[in-house]
Structure 1
Amino acid sequence: MIGFSRGEARPDPPRFRLLGALEVGEIERLGGPRQRAVLAALLLRANDTAGIGYLTRAAWDDPPMAPESNLRTYVAGLRKILRDERADLVTRNGGYSLVLDPDELDVARFEYLAGEGGRALQDEDFATADKHFRQALELWRGEPLEGQAIGSALQAEVGRLQDRRFAVIEQHCRANLELGNHASLVSELQSLVDEHPLREELSAQLMLALYRSNRRADALDVFRQTREVLVRELGIEPGPRLQSVQGEILGSHRTAAPAPPLGRHRRLPMDIADFTGRRDELWRLRRLVDEAVSGPVTVCVIEGMAGVGKTRLAIHAAHQLGSYEDIQLWADLRGFDSAQPPAEPSAVLGAFLHALGVPAEQLPHDLDERAALYRDRLAGARSLVLLDNAVSEEQVRPLLPGGPDSLVLVTTRCSLAGLDGAVMLGLDVFSEREAVELMARIVGPQRIAAEPDAAARIARLCGFLPLAVTLAARRLRARQSWLLADLADRLEGDRLDQLDLGDRGVRAVFELSYLALADDQRRLFRLLGLHPGDDFTAESVAALCGLTPASAESMLDALLDFYLLEQITPGRYHFHDLVRDFARDCLRSDESPAAQADSVQRLLAWFVASADAADRALQPSRHRVVLDVDAFHRQFDQDQAMRWFEAENDNLVRAVQVAADHGCHRHAWQLPSFLLSWFYRRRLWADWISTYTVGLASARRLADRTGEAMMLNGLGVAHSDLDQYVEAIACHQQALVIERAAGDRSGQAWNLNNLGVALGDLGRFDEAVDCFQQALVLHQDSHGKGLALSNLGDAYRALGRLDEALGQLRQALRLQRTSGDRAAQRYTRSCLGDVYVALGKPARAIEHYRQALAISRETGDRWQAAIVLARLADVLGDGDQAEACRQEAGMILAELRGGPKTQKLREQLGDLV
C-alpha cells in the first residue's frame, strides 16, 4: 500500500518508499488519490520523463477527455510538497521528471541490491548473494500501492514489482540452499507456498529443503499437493523442474530422450555496437524468457513507428539471451520494402529448413508440409527465431515453431493484434536522456558535454526518434568542425532534408509506411498536414477530408495500426513531429492547391459551427452572430461544451490564424467571437488577445464594422482583466463609435457594461454607474438587463450606497430567476454576499457565497469559483472550513494561467501554490 508514517522517524536515505509505503510527510499534504497516483507514477519513472499518456493511465482507468489540465493541477500541488523534501519535479518535453539520487528511492535501491545479488549468485559467491538479497527484500513492507485508486499503468507496475520480488525471493532461497541452510528455510518456504501454490519454483525449493533436512516423505507430499492444485486450477501437470526434483528424491530421475542433434545454427545479424537505452524493454524480454518454462511457443511482437528502433532492439535482445545460443534463425520478411514484395512464408521456411540440414531435394512443396517439417526439426531444441519487418499475421503464423522451448521475436510497424497468444511490446521514442546518451556514444562524450543544451535541442528537434538521432549524430561525427549548435540551427529549417541519407534516411523509412496504405488512406494522411493543431478527432478530420465521421475514424485507426499516428487520449489522434513534416511534404507534392483550399474551408466551417454550438450551451441568452455555414449541426450541454473547448483550445487558437493566412477573414473574426465565454472562464489571456487581434485585422480587411466592434469589445475585456486599463478603455470607446453609427443598441449596451467594469476597477465608480445605467436602458433582453443591474448594484456597494446596492441586486436576482438565467446568478449572488459582509450580516453573506460557488462549479467557471472561495474563507475565519476554501482556491489558481488579478488573489490566499 502507500502508507504515510506519522510518528516514526523517516529513513534518510531513502526518503521515498514505494515497496510498501510512500513516505513524503503527512498524508493530508498529498491531496487526493489521483494526485498520489501521479506521485507514485513519477517515482516509478524517477530521473526519466513520465509522459502525459503514462501519467494519464496511472491516475485513471477511464480518463477525462482532456487530462492535461488535471495533471497540471496535481503536479503544481506536488511541487510544493516535494520542495519541502528537497526533490525537484521538472517539466520536460511531453511530460514531467522527478529528479532524485538513486539512494533516495527504495525501488532503485531494491533493483541495485537485487542486481548485485544476482551477480554474486552467478559467480557462486553464495554468502554475498544471500546478504544482498536479504537487504533488498527487507525494503518491502506490505504490497505496493495497496488500497489506492490507480489506473492501468500503475496496476501493470505493481504486477511487475510483485513478479520481480518473487524472482528475488526464489534467488535468495537458492543461495541459502547452496549454503546448506535447509532447515531454516523450511518454515519460510512453506508460508510462501501456502500463499502462492501455483509458483512451481517455490514448491521445488521447499521439496529440496525438506529432503535435505531428512524429511523425504514431507518433500514428496509437497509434490503431490502441488500437482493436485495445478491439475485442479490450471488443468496442467507439473513442469520439468518439479518432476526433476521429485525424480532426484525418488532416486529415479528420468529425462526425456534428447532430440536428434541439430548442431549450432547462428544466423542473426551482428549486434549493434552503439545500442543505447531500452532497459525496461530488455528487462521485459528477459522476464518473458524466464517465465516461459512450459506451454506454447513464446512469441513477442515488437511494434512501433518507422525509425523507432524495433530491429535494433530485437537483434540486441537476441544476442543478450544466452540460453538460445545453439539455434538462432533470422529472416527479413520485407513487409515494407518498396523494391520487393513481402517475403512468402513458404520461401522463408525453405531457407530455414535448408539451414537446419534438410537437403533441397527433400523440401516439401506444400506450405503446410514445410511448416510441419520445420516444427518437427525444432521440437525439443531451444531455438530463437527473429522475424523482422512482418506485415501481417498470415505471414508470421507458418513460421512459428511448435514447442515450448522456442522464442520468436517479431518486429513490425503495423498492428499484429490478431496473432493469438503473442505478447505485444509497443516501442516508443527515446526519452531525452536516452537520446543524448545515444548521441554521446556516436559523437563522443566530450563534444556532448561541451554543449549539453545544444545536444538536448537536437534531440528534441529529432522528436527523440532513435533513427533521426542516430543520423544527426553521424552528421556531427563526419563534420568535426561543426558545433552542435550549428546542426541544431539547421534542423530548425527542413528537418527531413537534414536527416536524409538516401534509402536509409528518415523520409525514406516513412515513405515505406505511406506507400503501404490504400489510396484513400494516403489522401487522408497527407490532408492531415493541413490540420492546424497538434491533435485531432474523427469529427474534425471528417470535415477536413469531406468524409463521414465513421469513415474518418476507420482510416485514422488504420494509420494508428501502421504507427503513422499516435493516440494518448481515446478518440484523439496526433502526429509525431517528424511524421507531420513528412505528411506536409506529401501534401505539397500530391495534393493540388485548389484541393487544399477546399479542405481548409471545410475544416474552418466545422470549427466555426462547432464553437458556436458550444458557446450557445455556455451563454444561451447571448446575442448571436449570424453564421454563413450550415453544413455542420452539433448540440452540446454545458459540461460537454466545457470539455470540448478544453480539448480543442489549441486547435481553435491556431485555426484563427489559419483562417487569416488563407484569406478566410470572415471565419477569422467569427471564430474568436464564440470563444469569449470560454476564454473568460479559464482566463486564457494570451490566446484571447492573440485570436482577437487576428480577428480584428480580418474584420478591418473586410470592412466589416460589426465584426470590428465585436473584436474591439472582446479585446477591451481582456485588457481590463490584465489591468491594462488605458488599452481597455480605448477599445471600448472605439467600439462604441462604430455601434452608435450603426444604431446597434445591443452592441452599445455590452460595450458600456464592459467599459463600466474597467472604470470600476480604476475606482471611478461614479463614471461606472453612468455606464451601467446607460447599458440598462439599451439592453433589450433579460440576460443583459440582469447583468447591468448586478454591476450597478456592485458599483453602489463600492460607493457605500448599500441600500441602493441591495435593491439593484435583488431586482437583478428576481429577473434572472424569472428568465431562468442561472449562470448569471453566480455574479449577482457573489455581489449580494459582498453587500451583506459590508452590512455586518455574515450568515446571509455565507448563504449567497455558497450558492454563487455552486453555480460557478456547475458552469465550469473556475476563476469565479476561486474568487468566491477566497471571499468565503475570509468570512468563515480561521477554522477547518475556511482553510479548505483557501486550499481549493489555491489549487484552482495553480491551474489557471497567470495575470495581475490572479496574482492579487494568490497574495490574498497566501503562498499556497
Structure 2
Amino acid sequence: MLGGGKLEIRILTPVPQILVENRPVDVGSPKARLVLAVLAESVGRPVPTSTLIDRVWGEAPPDSVHTSVYAYCSRIRRSLKDAGVPTDIKRRSRTYTLEVDPDAVDWHRARSLSAQARKLTQRGEHAAAFALLEEALELWDGEPLTEFSGVWADSLRRRMAQGHRRLLGQWAEVGLVLGGPEETLLRLEDHPGDETLAYLHMKALEMCGRHTEAIECYTDLRDHTIAELGIQPSPRTRALFQRILTEADGDEGQWVEPVPLAEPRREVVDTLRADVSDFLGRDEELETLLTSVRASEGRTAVHLIHGLGGVGKTTLAAHAAHRLRDAFDVRLQTDLTGASSDQVLFRLLLMLGVSGSGIPTEPEARVALWRNQVAGRRVLLLLDNADHHDQVMPVIPGAAGSVVLVTSRRSLAGLHGARRLWLRPLDEEDAIRMFAVFSGRDVEEEGMSRVVALADRLPLGLWIASAQLRRRFTWSLDRLANHLERHTRASEQGADSEALAVFIDTYEALDVWARQVFLCVGLHPTTVVPDHAAAASVGDWDKTEKALDELIDVHFLDEVSPGRYRMHDSVRRFARQRAARTMSERQRWEVERRILDYYLATVDNADRTAMPGRRRTERPITRSSATPGFESPREAREWFADTFPSVERVIEHARERGFTEYVARIPLAMAGLLETNGPWDRAEKLFVDAVEAWRGLRDPLGTADALYELAVMRLKLMDRGEVEELLGRAIALWEECGRRQNIPYARDQVGLLHADQDDHLRAISEYRASLDEFQALGDQRGIAKVYNHLALSQSETGRHHRASSHFLVSKQLYQALGDEHMAARVAMNLFQMRFGEGRHREARAMNERCMWVFRAHGDALGIASTQHNRGLLESYLGRYGDAYDSFQSAQRGFWSAGDVTGMIRSKVGVGTALLGLGRISEAERTLLNGLELAETHDLALPRSPLLRALGDVRSAQQRRSEAEVMYQEARGVAARTGAHQNEGMCCSRLGDLSSLKGDSEKALSYWAAAVRHLERKPTPYLEQVRSKIKWFQYVRGQAVG
C-alpha cells in the first residue's frame, strides 16, 4: 500500500480520491477534488494561490474565489484529520503545500518505482526490477482525471499518458530480457502509434518466431509515422525490421520482400520532420518558393532560404517540402549545425539504410556511394542550418529532377547557381494574425500590436509569447505587453541584450529544476540531446524526466524521436546566455564534464558489449545512473552507427574547451567499434588527435595505445607508408611502461602489413614471433587471433593442411573463451577451405551455424557473406534456383550495408545462376550493371570475375570471339590483382575455347596454366580441369593407337 500502508491519494483514476487503510475519505465536491489533484500533483512543493485558481477555475473565477480556495483546503485538511492521518495542507505567503510523503500519491509513487527499477536494471537485477514495474503499472485505474476538463487537466492527462507509455516500455524491455515475450505481447497490442512500444512489440513477435506479424507491425508503424509526423521510423527500428526480414527469408511460407531481378527493391525513404498543421503568414514567400521549384522541373535545383534565427526558415522549408513530397521517392531532412560535408554524407547514407561499416572512408568514395545510392531516383533534400557552402555542395544529387532546399542565417555566396529567398520578419498584419491563432485572442484586442512588436514579429517569439497567455488566462494583452517591456528594459541593461523578452518570461515561469535542466541541455555540444545525456548533465534522472516534459510544454524543446530532444538555435543561445549569467564558471565546467563523462562511459559500454575481449588498457571511468547499458552486441552496434556523428562533435567540443583528457580517451574507448563499424577516415583523424592529446598529458602508455590504434586504422585505409614506424614507436613506449603484454598485438599487425603487401613469408615470421610472446604470456585471445592470421598466410603459400589445422585451433580457442562471434569469423575462413576440398556437407553446416551467430550479433555483413557462401555452394552443385535466391539475399544485405564490392561479387553469382537457368538476357543485364558499378567506384578486384562471367554469357550466345576477348581481359586483371583462382578459371575457359577450335596444344597449355593457378588454394574446380586434361590425353592416345 502507498504511504507506508496508511494513506493513498489517487489521481491516476477518473475521479481523484483519498484512501486510508483502504477506506475512502470524502473530500467534498468536484471542485474540492480538483484542488486535491492540483496539490497532489505538486506534493511537497508550494503552489501559489494564483496558480491554484487558474488550474481549478480557469479564465473566469468568481469574486469569492480566495474564500473558496481556503474552504476547500480546510475541508480536505479536516477530512484527513478525522481519518487519523498525521498530514497537513500548509498555507504560507499566498501558497498552499500538501505536506505528505510523495509515495502516498500514486502518480509520484509510479515514477519512484520506475526510477528504482532503472537502477536495479543497471545492476543486472532484472527480476526485482520487473516486480517493481508491475506494481507501478497496476497503479493506473482507467484514464486519469476524466471528471475534469480544462487546460491544466488536459496537460496533466497527456503527461500521465506519456509516463504510462514510458513505464510500459521499460516493463517490456525488462520482460524481454527475462524471456517473457508472450506476456509482453498482451500489453503491447494497443499502442500502434508509439514507436518505442512498436519496436518492443516487433521484438517480442520476433522472439516468438512470428515474423509475418512483426513485419505487419512495422508496416503499420511506418504508415502512421509518415502520415502523422512526416518521417520514417528511427534507425534502430528500421534495423530491427531489416533483421526480421532477413530471418523471414529462412521461414518457409513466410512473406518475403519482392526484389527485382536486376536491382534490390528501393522503397520510398522519408525522413522529413512533421509538417505544421496550421501553416500561417508566409503565403507570398511559399508561393515564390514553389514557383521557383516548379520552374526548375527536369534538372537538379538548389533553393536557399536565408534570414534571422527564429524567422521561420525551417518551418517554411518543411512546409514546402511536404507540398512537394509526392513527386519524390527519396525525401531526406538533416540538420547541418556543426557538421562537415563528410559527416552530412554519413548521416544521409545511414538514412538510406547503409550501415556505418559499409560507408567508405575516402571523401570521394563517400560522395560516389551517395550518388550511386540516389542514381535514377528523384530526391528531395532539406538541409537545415547550413553555415557554409562546403557543407552543401558534395551532397547535391546528380539525378535530374532533384530538389535541394537549404536554410541558413547566411547568404552562402559560394553556393553558385542557387536560387535565394531572403526571409524577413513578418509584416505587422501577418504577425497579428499568427499571434491571434496561437493565443486564441481576437485580432482587434487592445495591446495586440505592442505584443507582436515586442516579439520582433518573429514566429518563434510569437509562439513563446502566446505560451505566457495559455498559462495566465486572466491577463490582458496590455498586461502581457507591460510585462514584456519590463523584461526588455532589464535585458538591455544587463548581459542578455540579445535575448528575446518572451524567452526570459517563459524561463522565469519554470520551476527551479526545469530551469536547471534547461540550462544544462543548452550547454550540450550536440544539436540533438538524448534523455540519458540530459539526465547525466543534470545529475538526477527523475527530476530531469519531469523537467523535459515541462520544457516541451513551453516549446523550449522538441522531441524529435522517442527520448531524443532538439533545442532551437535561438533558444540554445538564450540558454547559454542565462547559464553564463546565473551559473558560476565552476558550475558550467562541472556540467560540461558530466556530459563528457556520459559520452565516454556510454561509448565504453557499447564497445565492451560489441567487442568484449578486445585489447584495451583499463582506466577509471565515471558512470552515473543515467549511463545506458546495451543488451546485446547488435544493439550496441546499432546505437554506435546512429550516434557516431554526435560523439565526434563531443570530441571536437572537448578539444575546443580544453578538455584534453576526453580528446585522448574517447577514441580509445570506442576503438573496437571504430575498427569494425568505421568510418575509418574519421577514426584515423580522431586517433591522430588522440596521439597528440596523450602526449600533451605526458602519458606514454596512452600515447602507445593511440599509436597502435592509429596504425590499425592506417592498415584499414590501405595507407601502409608509416604503419610499421607507428607500431615500432608503440612497442618502444610499451617497453618503457612495462606493458610487454601489448607488444605481440603490434607484431601481429606488422604481420598483417606484410600479408597485405603479398609478402606472406615475412608475415608468417612476424606471426610466429607474436605467437611465441602470446604463449609466454598465456594470452589465449591473442593466440587465437594470431592463429587465424597465420592460417590465412599459410593458405596463400600452399600449406593447406597446416592452415586448416590452425584455423581449427583459432576457432576452438575463441569458443573456449565464449566468443562465438569471433569463432564464427574464423569459421568463415574455414568454410572456404572445406568448400575447396569438396567437403560440401561439412561446409554447408558450418555456414549455417555462422549465419545464426551473425544474426544474433546484428552483423549485417556477416549475414550477407554467409548467404553468398550458400550461393557458391548451390551454384557449384548445379542448383541454380537455390543459388539465385541466396545470391539475391546476399546482394540485398551488401547493398543495405553499403558494401559495393560485396554487392558486385553477389551480382556475379546472380548472373551465373541466371545463366544456369537459361535466362541469358537477364544474366547479361545483371553482369553489365555490376561492371558499371565496379568502374564507377574504381574497383579492380571484382572486375575480373565479372568479365569472366560475361565471357560465359558470350559463349552461351555463340559469340566465341567476343568471349575470348572477355576471358583474356579478365585474366589480365586477375594477374594484376593477385586473384589466382580467377586467373585459373579464365585459363580453363580459354582452354575450352581452344579445344572447340581444334587447337589441342593451345588447349592443353591453357589447362596446364589453370592447374598451376588453382593448385595454390583448395578449390573444387581444380579436379574439373585435371579431368579435362586426362580425357584429352586419353582421346589423343586412342587416336595415336
Q: What TM-score, normalized by structure 1, do the two folds share?
A: 0.49
Q: What TM-score, normalized by structure 2, do the two folds share?
A: 0.44
